[in-house]
Every structure is written in structure tokens, then in C-alpha cells.
Structure 1
Amino acid sequence: MIELTAQSFTTFLDLLGTFAFAVSGIRWAANKQFDWFGAYVIGLVTAIGGGTTRDLLLNLPPFWMQNASYLIVTGIALLATVVFRKQLFRWGRALFLFDSIGLGLFTVVGVGKSLEAGQPFWVCIMMGAITGSVGGVIRDVLLNEVPLLFRKDIYALACLVGGIVYMISYQYGLSISITELLAALTVILIRVVAVRYHIQLPFLNPVDTERGGDKKV
């Protein structure tokens, strides 16, 4: 019963993360004036891109090919965005919050599935970061944007810290539900605090090859 409950909770987080990331992708597509089908595609790749990459690296069948719920949830996200578009578009922080929630939830799902596959702790942490961030990279590439992962924002780094929190909590014997909540909240909190207080990674300044030193910007 306990294992069933833990598995159900993980599935709930996975579907909730799918909804959050799908809304994020659809919202970005709306900014580019995509039609409904195009917006659905962007929402879908945002939601399943990271998990698909993870499963392929782990030599597993892509998760969405075994369960149609992820395609359905993305459709629900599209309808919700259409129905509540005025509220979402008026609330400028909605895009960021949905993206942050999806990032945190997908990170813990990625770590958990990697543990189930028998991977070492460092692989699990990396798979968590891939699950959380690669979907956003694919989204940005399709929208002709510089991927958020490669900008100065704290993004993939938040996933890595969340993965570490997951593994520490797991090693200390906390329940799966508590472990996943702690890790997801860590990722979300890092993203929110970093944006709120403008905490950023330093730029890698270009090198002036003619002078042999850093080029001043």
C-alpha cells in the first residue's frame, strides 16, 4: 500500500509538471502568435522533451509512448490557456511561475526514475537536470530564442541542487513523498529567489585575440 501511494504521488507530480510546462510552452507560443496546433506542439515538446531525452539516455522506452495521459494533459493545458488567456496574459509572472513549477517537479521525477533504473547517484542528479531543463531548450530553439539554459539565469544549476537534496534526503531514509517535495521546493525556491534578487552567474567575457586580453563591453 505504501509503495502504491508513493508511486501514485510520483505520477501526480509528473502529470502536474506536464501541465505546468505545457502551459509555459503554450504561453511562449502565444507571444509568437502561433495557431492552436502550433501552440499545442510547443507545449508538448516543452513537457516531454526532457523526459524523452532522459529515457533515451537510460535506454528506456519514452514514457509518453506508454501512457497517453501526457498528450491529454497537454491538450487540457491548451484549453485552460485559451479559456483563461486574459488572466494569464495579464499576470506577467504566470509564465515564470509555471516554468519554475515544471522545472522543480520534472527534476524530482527524473531523479526518481533514474534511481529505479539502478543508476549511480551522480547519474541520477544529471538525469534530473536533463529532465527539468531540456524541454525548455527545445522550446526555445523552436521559437528561435536563445535557450534559457545558456543565459545568465540560474536554471539548470537549480535542478542540480534539487537533485543533490533529493539524494541526501533519500540516503537519510526519508519517505519518497517527503523527499520529492523537498527537492522540488528547493528547485522552485532557488529559481524564485534568484530572479527576485537578481542573482546571476557571471558572464564569460569574450577574448580580444588581437590584444591578448579581455574585450571590454
Structure 2
Amino acid sequence: MMRSLSLLLLVALTVLGGSTEGNERHEQAKREFLSRSKRRWVLNTIELEEEMDVKYPYKITKMHNLRTVGTEYEFEIKGAGVKGVFSINETSGEVYVHRRLDREKTPSYELTFDILDKKTRKTIDRDLSFDVNVKDINDNPPMFTNQFQKSYDVKENTKEGDYLPVPLTVEDIDQEGTINSTVVVTVAKQSPAVPKIGVKKVNDKLHQLVTEGCFDYDVGLNLLK
């Protein structure tokens, strides 16, 4: 006959990735010079950190076009999800972001730029599109995603190293495959204290409780008294 022993466990999640705020938040715009002679555009490709703690609207780059010399012109910006998030000064070509970005909601934006003759309203050059990539920071806590029972039955002859019937499914919605989404699962508190219960990682999302000793019903019962 199987006898069961009750254990009170408090399982803790620890996130490994640190926040990239601080010095890195002053490096919001990563600029690489890019020239396309056919379109005669000169621009910067942009990578912006999410949740930047800056004063908005915040200048992220400046557009240029080599066909504007001697011409009265204006810039236009468009793209899915751009309205209310990005804008361009139609005269200077300065591009602004107007609010904090959330990579988990929108990991990238495609911006399209036109340059128009002010008098004729015709395009001076073909439009140009490029992506604004949102750089991940560690801004989301890891969470258990499976439902836990209040109690589990464990056989008295469960040996050291055996899995216990307690799956722990963990998810962190920060960028997958980075330190920001890497977590460590540990047993923070246990009653009674023996046999000791540990956690073994099965894969990136699944962990399993494992015994680090042998279960003894009579010993456990005395410890609970």
C-alpha cells in the first residue's frame, strides 16, 4: 500500500539577465552610415532600446537626400504603426520617437520616407524604407504558467534522484535565447526539511522537482509533529 507524505514547498524564480539601463540607455541610437547611390538617399539605420528613459519627443536620426540641392522640398514619413510613435521635421529631416517602445508588443517598425517638391507636390526621389529594431531589455519577470495542485502523492520508496510528479513550466517573454529570458528555478523553502527537494531543468521552459534523498513515511511524520 502506498503511503503519502506531505511537504510544504516554496519554489522561487530567479532571472539572470540584468537591466541594460544606465550607461546603455545613452546609446539608444546605433548608427551605421548607409548610402544608396541609385536613390541618392543618405541615412542611418537605427536600433532603439525599449523603455528608454529620455525626454520625449526624442531625436533618433536625421534624413538627407542628395537631390534636394536648390529645391524647395519637404519630408514625409509613413508606415504601419508609425503614427503617434515616430515623426519627421518636414524641413530639417530630423526624425523623432514620441514615446517609450515595448519590444514585446512591437519588435520592429518599418519606416518609409518620401521627399516632395513643395510647389508641384511631386516626389523628388523614390521613397525609401528601412526598419527600426527595438532592442530588448530585462523588463519582464519570469512566471509559472502551469496550474499547481495543492498536494501530490509520493511513494515511500522514492529514491534519491527520482523525479517527483510536480512539473514546473516557466515562461519569460523577454527576447528568447538571450540572458534576459534565462531563469533559474530553486526551492526557496521546504517543510519538513528532509528529504531535501531540488529542481532539475528539463528544457528552457520545463523544470521538474527531484528528490535529493529517500522518502521515509515514519521519519517525515515525526518531523511534522
Q: TM-score, normalised by structure 2?
A: 0.25
More strand as a share of residues: 2
Q: Which has the larger radius of gyration?
A: 2
Relative contact order higher in (CA < 8 Å, ≥ 6 apart): 2
